[in-house]
Structure 1
Amino acid sequence: MEEKAETKYAEVPQHEEHASKDKDQPEGGAVRLQAKMSLINGVTVIVGSIIGSGIFISPTGVLVHTGSVNMALIVWIVSGIFSMIGAYCYAELGCMIKKSGADYAYIMETFGPFLAFIRLWVECMIVRPCSQAIVALTFSIYILTPMFPECTPPTESVRLLAAACICLLTFVNCWDVKWSTLVQDTFTYAKLVALFIIMGTGVYQLCTGHTEYFTFENTETDITKLSLAFYSGLFAYNGWNYLNFIIEELQDPVRNLPRAIAISLVTVTVTYVFTNVAFYTTLSPLEVRGSTAVAVTFAERLYGPMAWIIPVFVAMSTFGAVNGVLLTSSRLFYAGACEGQMPEILTMIQVTRLTPTPAVLCIAMLSLIYLASDNVYSLINYVGFATWLSIGLAVVCIPYLRWKRPDLERPIRVNLFFPIIYIIATIFITVVPCIASPVDTGYGALIIFTGVPVYFVFIYWKNKPQCIRRFLFAFTVFMQKIMVVVGAEKPAQV
């Protein structure tokens, strides 16, 4: 987090000739992130990031807090609409502030470095690596479960396979953006196939009269418990803003960003609702409450000897989700470093592959560290409210910038009704669960506040002793030589 004015990039002359001849290099030899992602790539990034393990495990959490099947379906629909409104608001922000980093970049532009850093700290240090570790563990469990039919897979084996998954995808993302988007595309299609199989089975069940569980019986009336149901539902939709994190790599973002968001969110919402309908044509509310993996229970009831296909597709789904988190999270580290709020090495690009290799390796190493912890699920719960609070704060940027910066170019201009509705809903889903679960909220607030001293020591304090500056400079140069990276050419400011 050293001062940029004093940092000089190490030269890597042995690679300059090769880099200049690389077909992916931009004209003039500049080293920067390239816009290689098409509309279809953008759709698969969003869909692939959203559909991970959530749809296969969240139905239980939603039903527990709603009490009835029909109310659970309403929560799934409202959660989808809520996500669509947020994504629509992000379309204006993404086309107005064309910087990687999504809500971090928007908060930085609007409210300044302190609030932006707190958002960056929580997301980079805890939420993203924990989320990636959890999804990788889910992948491992579904892969290994068929190999241990009489018992649960050994913890060490699960963690080792999860680490191998993260390391493999780290290599892919360091090697070429096209490779990582190819992985994203392939596994997105695989997970959609799995869900279409489930939905097709559900349609058949509906046509044969299996509708006995679709009632409002035992609906929960406690508003605080219903708010917790939305936490479970929104967890499954988490990832709708991930394309905004890599907008600099999207071709024609003004045209493709809103289209990718619209196509993705409609697809995911319809898929989620009909998948839940399929579950409840076969499984009773009691069975869903008692299941840790609803899709597997559903398959065991209906597919007989072919029930193994669902765990395989769930594993493929989570594999793609790990890639999506890795692809977008590395760009968040990169965006923070470009603003001087992360170590400068994270701003640099590999000279021949044109990928943000240091940022990719950083998120991967943090994820591997969290694999050693048994409490990553609790950490995610603690900061869940902070995630939605920061996304709500990013949406506040829309009316604030309309007032303060009316001169900014806005290729997409949303009706202010949508951000206002989203802000009100965000207040509801953050404040009410705080009342229902004050302990988790307290731990979450404590985690957030740990970023305050880090900000003042490493960022706000500019006049550091010369010995510290020399150490940071030497560290940056050493890491440059190890990874063969140079500073990226900054895009034009908006």
Structure 2
Amino acid sequence: MDEAKPSLPPSPPPSLARFPHSCLPWQPAAAAAAHRRQHRFNQCRDFSVLLTWVNCSSVRMATRIQDVFTVGKLMALGLIIVVGLVQICNGNYEALTPQVAFSMDRTPTVGQIALAFLQASFAFSGWNFLNYVTEEVVEPRRNLPLAIYISIPLVTFVYTLTNIAYFSSMSPEELLSSNAVAVTFGEKLLGMFSVIMPISVALSTFGGINGYLFTSSRLCFSGAREGHLPSLLAMIHYKYCTPIPALLVCCAATIVILCIGETHNLINYVSFINYLSYGVTIAGLLYYRWKKPNLYRPIKVNLLVPVCYLMFWALLLGFSLYSEPVVCGVGLVIMLTGVPVYFLGVHWKEKPKCIYNFIERATYVGQRLCFVVFPQFDPIEIASPS
């Protein structure tokens, strides 16, 4: 990461329909709010504000804090895996035997399995967020694919071993009834060291909030730069080069979302919105590969990858919508709220002068309050490749 670099990610122009979710780093905060003993709303709110201040003050500080949170989370997961392997070596693996692991009170429908995929994907959300900060990555053509190739298999491997470790000492019923599985696991096996688990859950949660703030604010910034959001969100601090208005919007939206709804329903809503937006993005990629095959593409993948993903996406969302039409329908409605906003804010060009005057005044006030300006780009950076 380069703190002094004033340019920010040129991700594809995001639809206003994605804005209700993309600017909200509420997901880890909402998950934390569900744990009554470990994290309460006020703590989530306070830490969201604190991490917003950190991200407003320094890109370098935000990334260093993210590194600390990530290391703390991986160390805790490593401890869980080691303890779980010890349990398995001692013969405690009843819940992992096929007759127990695959036993079910009732046969799930295809729609319920698809919805389970959506809910489980919550733990993996963030796999695509590095794309939002491409301009702040050193040598992105090399490091972006490298980070993806390393992180996704690593996370999958670690999470799989962690779940195996959980089942070495907990039954499926215990896992489902626990608000914080890692904490319950620690209370059962770690004795006096069980206090490590709540701290680790906190580190993981705050790391998630920090990561969402860092990346989602850049998505808002990029949308504003393309004219899809208010121009104030496309400005950065004149000294720190951080998108303060976008960060403040993300923080405010996070606090509002924390006050609304039940956590598991929120996860279902947002998981559906996530995959819907992913599918639309992949469809757009295929469209551009077909209509504009000669566009410059620094990073290019085989068409088989997006086609297979799109097929899986269609089946997953179709069955989920069939299984839970109300929950998934609410997520769809949330996403569609951006459509009228798009037509009023972007498509409608000939607005009354009073509206333009209000927008200019609000932008001016926001600039004065946040000390932000439009970034100045190096002509070499934005020049078309030969």
Residue in structure 2 matched with residue 123 of structure 1 by the alignment: 22
CA RMSD of aligned residues (A): 2.2
Give 1:292 deviation, angstroms. 2.2
CA contact (8 A) 1:349 1:488 kept: yes
SS in 1 for 2:94: coil
Residue in structure 1 matched with residue 250 of structure 2 by the alignment: 363
Q: Distance in 1 between matches of 2:270 and 2:130?
A: 22
CA contact (8 A) 2:26 2:255 kept: no
Q: Say whether 1:207 aligns with 2:106.
A: no
Q: Across the two proteins, how many residue pairs are aligned to each other?
A: 375
In structure 2, the CA distance between the partners of 1:334 and 1:246, relative to structure 1 (3 Å rule), is same
Residue in structure 1 matched with residue 349 of structure 2 by the alignment: 462
Give 1:132 deviation, angstroms. 5.1
Residue in structure 1 matched with residue 333 of structure 2 by the alignment: 446
CA contact (8 A) 1:132 1:322 kept: yes
Q: Distance in 1 between matches of 2:269 and 2:147?
A: 31
Q: Tell me whether 256-265 or 301-310 shows the greater mean CA deviation.
A: 301-310
Residue in structure 2 matched with residue 294 of structure 1 by the alignment: 181
Amino acid at match of 1:179: M
Residue in structure 1 matched with residue 42 of structure 2 by the alignment: 160
Q: TM-score, normalised by structure 1?
A: 0.72
Q: How does 1:67-86 map to 2 (within 5 A)?
A: none
Task: Show CA shifts across 1:161-198 (max 9, x none).
Answer: 21110111011001110000000000100000000000
Amino acid at match of 2:155: V
Q: TM-score, normalised by structure 2?
A: 0.91
Q: Say whether 1:176 aligns with 2:58.
A: yes
CA contact (8 A) 2:52 2:247 kept: yes
Amino acid at match of 1:365: A
Q: Distance in 2 between matches of 1:175 and 1:474?
A: 25
SS in 1 for 2:95: coil
Q: Tell me whether 213-222 or 254-263 shows the greater mean CA deviation.
A: 213-222
Residue in structure 1 matched with residue 382 of structure 2 by the alignment: 492
Give 1:221 deviation, angstroms. 4.9
Residue in structure 1 matched with residue 288 of structure 2 by the alignment: 401
Q: How does 1:255-294 map to 2 (within 5 A)?
A: 255-294=142-181
Give 1:139 deviation, angstroms. 7.9
CA contact (8 A) 1:242 1:328 kept: yes
Q: Distance in 2 between matches of 1:363 and 1:416?
A: 34
Aligned mate of 1:477, from 364, 367, 380:
364
Unpaired runs of at least 5, structure 2: none
SS in 1 for 2:232: helix
CA contact (8 A) 2:119 2:267 kept: no
In structure 2, the CA distance between the partners of 1:332 and 1:361, relative to structure 1 (3 Å rule), is same
Q: Distance in 2 between matches of 1:427 and 1:176?
A: 40
Task: Show CA shifts across 1:21-78 (max 9, x none).
Answer: xx9656xxxxx237xxxxxxxxxxxxxxxxxxxxxxxxxxxxxxxxxxxxxxxxxxxx
Give 1:376 deviation, angstroms. 5.9
CA contact (8 A) 1:351 1:486 kept: yes
Q: Distance in 2 between matches of 1:375 and 1:286?
A: 21
Q: Distance in 2 between matches of 1:370 and 1:387?
A: 16
Unpaired runs of at least 5, structure 1: 1-22, 27-31, 35-98, 144-157
Q: Distance in 2 between matches of 1:129 and 1:419?
A: 26
CA contact (8 A) 2:218 2:246 kept: yes
Residue in structure 1 matched with residue 277 of structure 2 by the alignment: 390
Give 1:374 deviation, angstroms. 4.1
CA contact (8 A) 2:122 2:267 kept: no
Task: Show CA shifts across 1:461-482 (max 9, x none).
Answer: 1111111111111111121112
Amino acid at match of 2:87: Q
Residue in structure 1 matched with residue 7 of structure 2 by the alignment: 33
Give 1:268 deviation, angstroms. 0.4
Give 1:373 deviation, angstroms. 2.8
Task: Show CA shifts across 1:270-325 (max 9, x none).
Answer: 10000011011111222223222221221111112221111111111111111001
In structure 2, the CA distance between the partners of 1:236 and 1:339, relative to structure 1 (3 Å rule), is same
Q: Distance in 2 between matches of 1:410 and 1:441?
A: 34
Q: Say whether 1:218 aligns with 2:218.
A: no
Q: Tell me whether 365-374 or 332-341 shows the greater mean CA deviation.
A: 365-374
Q: Distance in 2 between matches of 1:482 and 1:170?
A: 16
Give 1:485 deviation, angstroms. 0.9
Residue in structure 1 matched with residue 314 of structure 2 by the alignment: 427
Q: Say whether 1:319 aligns with 2:206.
A: yes
Give 1:133 deviation, angstroms. 3.8
Which aligned runs of 4 or more in structure 1 are off by greater than 6 angstroms? none
Residue in structure 2 matched with residue 342 of structure 1 by the alignment: 229
CA contact (8 A) 2:18 2:338 kept: no
Aligned mate of 2:38, from 120, 127, 142:
142
Amino acid at match of 2:361: A
SS in 1 for 2:382: coil
Q: Distance in 2 between matches of 1:279 and 1:375?
A: 25
Aligned mate of 1:305, from 192, 210, 218:
192
Q: Distance in 1 between matches of 2:79 and 2:264?
A: 29
In structure 2, the CA distance between the partners of 1:300 and 1:25, relative to structure 1 (3 Å rule), is closer
Residue in structure 1 matched with residue 72 of structure 2 by the alignment: 190
SS in 2 for 1:395: helix
Q: Distance in 2 between matches of 1:357 and 1:441?
A: 33
Task: Show CA shifts across 1:195-243 (max 9, x none).
Answer: 0000001111121222222215425452222112211221111110011
Q: Distance in 2 between matches of 1:478 and 1:412?
A: 40
In structure 2, the CA distance between the partners of 1:130 and 1:425, relative to structure 1 (3 Å rule), is same
CA contact (8 A) 2:121 2:271 kept: no
CA contact (8 A) 1:243 1:328 kept: yes
In structure 2, the CA distance between the partners of 1:380 and 1:276, relative to structure 1 (3 Å rule), is closer
Give 1:489 deviation, angstroms. 2.5
Between the aligned residues of both structures, percent identity stands at 38
